[in-house]
Amino acid sequence: MTQKLKLVVVGNGMAPGRMLEHLFEAGDAYEVTIFNAEPRVNYDRIMLSPVLSGEKTYEDIIIHSDDWYAEHGVTLHRGEKVTKIDREAKTVTSEGGITAPYDKLVIATGSNPFIIPLPGHKLKGVLAYRDLDDTHGMMEAAKKGGNAVVIGGGLLGLEAAAGLKMQGMDVTVIHLMPSLMERQLDPAAGFLLKRELEGRGIEVLCEANTKQILGTEKVEGVELADGRVIDASLVVMAVGIRPNTQLAAESGLEVGRGIVTDSTLRTSDPNIYSVGECVEVGGMVYGLVAPLYQMARVIAGHLSGPSDAEFKHVETPTKLKVTGVNLYSVGEFGEGPDREDIVLRDAMRGTYKRVIIKDDKIIGCVLYGDVADGGWYNEMLKSGDSIQEMRDTLIFGQAYQGGGGGDPLAAIANLSDDAEICGCNGISKGQIVKAIQDGGLTTLGDVRAHTKASASCGTCTGLVEGVMALTLGDAFALPDAEGMCGCTAHSHGHVRRLIKAKELKSIPAVMQDLEWSTPEGCAKCRPALNYYLVSDWPGEYVDDMQSRFINERVHANIQKDGTYSVVPRMFGGVTTPDELRAIADVADKFEIPTVKVTGGQRIDLLGVKKEDLLPVWKDLNDAGMISGAAYAKGLRTVKTCVGQDWCRFGTQDSTGLGIKLEHLLWGSWAPAKLKLAVSGCPRNCSESTCKDIGIICVDSGFEILYGGAAGLHIQGTTPLGKVATEEEVLEYVGALTQMYRDQGFYLERIYKWADRVGYDHIQDVIMNDHDARKEYYKQFLFSQKFAQIDPWAERVAGAEAHEFSPMADLKLEAAE
């Protein structure tokens, strides 16, 4: 068996991660060891801005999970910064004393943020914006509210400003130059961007110079050179980056602006390569991800065998990752006597398009508002094709060339196979088409998984879908998981995060801010939005009954013949003679044809006419009975056995605990139905092991289980943990329910939620993180103050007719 070579990688960012992907695709020649200064796995730094704004979480942006490293036999040393490279011995040594030998070494130390050495720059509350720790630091600061000052109006600075604003802070951007993002945008586009940000409540001060940061122990304000003082509790420095070359320089490698390499990314030592923001190749350093990924491909080719691959400079487009702000810039846009501009402004739409031409060739473009043709202009720039024959229509985009008539699919069809679709990952149209055809891919998720196209910043998603539509024809359909419904392209997860991040507190506000394509939504999205708003803003948002299904509106299940079934609540399955008499009287009085015991230990009155629903419920309410919510997206039943009071095997009072749980959870909203059970002993007569949440009583306490299902999908529960007292059962179940309510998608059962976020993670939070559990339980109890007000009792006396009108029913019955 051939001995594997030892490859050591210093750094675990996006570039070395992509390099390893290419290397593993080529074979299994190396035993790989990674030293990562950060205490975590590889993640997508491009998406730090959505994490800061609250639109994504850290888990959403992980690139390589622990399983990936295990699958490829990679040794990952987390939190181990390399401090020494011994080139003669061919070893590296970390700050923690770990030494690893190498045959080949790749240095990927990235870059360091530039901190202006202003007076006060070392005060508590001054942060850079480069990694996840910086992001979390800003999020923690934002929890306290107050004012934030962002120094720097470039890409990172504006993304930080937008994120902090969405986190609830008042934000001021201080920028030295006359217009924002002056390296990527011309003044006209910079003006539009400034106006957009100011419209969002962000103060932007251009041509402003910072004199000092004020404060004694922590940030209290910022003083400008002209004497103005801005109150601040947080200052974010976003004025640029510098390649991190210290380790390479100390090791005797050639260093200039970055670690100097040749076009194969080999350093002055033939056994050492370098990749990423730390590299200087061809006299240039790079900070955008597309050229870094090109470096990764080149190095992987040379590590895996003889290769003629070389890194070549290409113009890289710039995009701003701020929700709702569309801009695209590539190439040159400076003034010059030999250059020609074609400009289109649309004041009504707020769009601006400028294409810069030299010698009948595109050398640059700046797009704001309408960026759909950015990829096409970039392709024309790279190819150097003449635009002479399309000069009159060039500014209108590709869809108007060659008889396209404005059809976006015609425009995509006209793209060459080499046309770049995904700039972040360097994926061409031809690569996507080949992956679809070779792999039989039919969904956007499949294409992302196989090619990574649109898997980073996501701005090319429309183009990727267009390529799929052309390739698959009628077989292409956007999967349900990508969008809530046809009214929006946003997923459930995206909508949930944006409702919180943007503090949207009404259905119209959500639809306006998130650009719904229909005026009032539909039967899929309105109930989901109503749930998210009820869940996220208890006590503030008023439950919109017209956005609930008919069953929830009338507290009864519609049957196939148009009648309804009515199920009064019996806490823990326990009833009284008075309740039974009331049920019998109602059945006689309204000639209800069928009275049945349900699987949830209650009594179901079947065949109730619609016109009888109000008087039926009035009579039951008068007898002290409330709705059993047999229709609800929330608690339905808590099934119990007789427990130790009557059963000779019972170990605890399962009936009493079940009643306590039902009283605790009664009226609780949830993403989907919740069914519980409490069994008095491991014989499990209450079937606790197939419920959403189950309790098994044992001699020494209570075992809590969750994630079971016994419907179309059948699976047993997963143990959460064991507790000693009933009080702990109530707390842990309440916290688990709140965590599910906070994170679950509408109609997502608890087992599907657990599959998505991870059973180990849930167990760690609820069972091991004392503070997190207490906080979830506190939130649960607060929400229940509003959930346990039964709206039916208030409406029984005099419901408005429209609540039960046929038209109101028809709107949502179809989706039930």
Distance CA 449, CA 456 (A): 11
Beta 104-107 vs 126-127: how paired, if at all?
A: unpaired
Torsional sign, CA 480, 485, 491, 496: negative
The residues, ordered by sequence, that sit 6+ positions from 374 with a Cβ below 8 Å of its Cβ are 317, 328, 330, 365, 367
The residues, ordered by sequence, that sit 6+ positions from 195 with a Cβ below 8 Å of its Cβ are none
Distance CA 48, CA 131 (A): 7
Helix (H) or strand (E) holding 194: helix 187-199
Helix (H, G, I), strand (E, B) or coil at 523: coil
End-to-end CA distance of the chain: give it in Å, rounded: 61
Query: What percent of the residues of the chain are helix, what percent strand, and what percent coil, each to the nearest 5?
Result: 40, 20, 40
Distance CA 771, CA 777 (A): 10
Which positions make up the binding site for siroheme? 685
Find the radius of gyration of the CA atoms of the chain: 31
Joined tokens for residue 667: 């009226």
Distance CA 300, CA 739 (A): 43
Are 342 and 366 a contacting pair, CB within 8 Å? Answer: no
Joined tokens for residue 349: 């739409």
Helix (H) or strand (E) holding 762: helix 759-763
CA 282 to chain centre: 37
Distance CA 101, CA 35 (A): 12
Distance CA 69, CA 78 (A): 12
Are 104 and 197 a contacting pair, CB within 8 Å? Answer: no
- What 8-state DSSP symbol labels residue 279? E
Which positions make up the binding site? 641, 647, 681, 685
Using CB atoms within 10 Å of the CB of residue 463, give its burial: 0 to 12 exposed, 13 to 18 middle, 19+ buried.
buried
Helix (H, G, I), strand (E, B) or coil at 752: helix
Which residue carries 């790989």 as its tokens? 32
Count of residues in the chain: 816
Which of 203, 204, 196 lies closest to 350 in space, CA to CA? 196
Using CB atoms within 10 Å of the CB of residue 217, give its burial: 0 to 12 exposed, 13 to 18 middle, 19+ buried.
exposed
The residues, ordered by sequence, that sit 6+ positions from 125 with a Cβ below 8 Å of its Cβ are 141, 215, 218, 219, 232, 233, 234, 235
Which positions make up the binding site for [4Fe-4S] cluster? 641, 647, 681, 685
Which residue carries 């701005």 as its tokens? 459
Which residue carries 């390893």 as its tokens? 20
- What 8-state DSSP symbol labels residue 443? S
Which of 75, 67, 71 lies closest to 32 in space, CA to CA? 75
Distance CA 471, CA 575 (A): 62
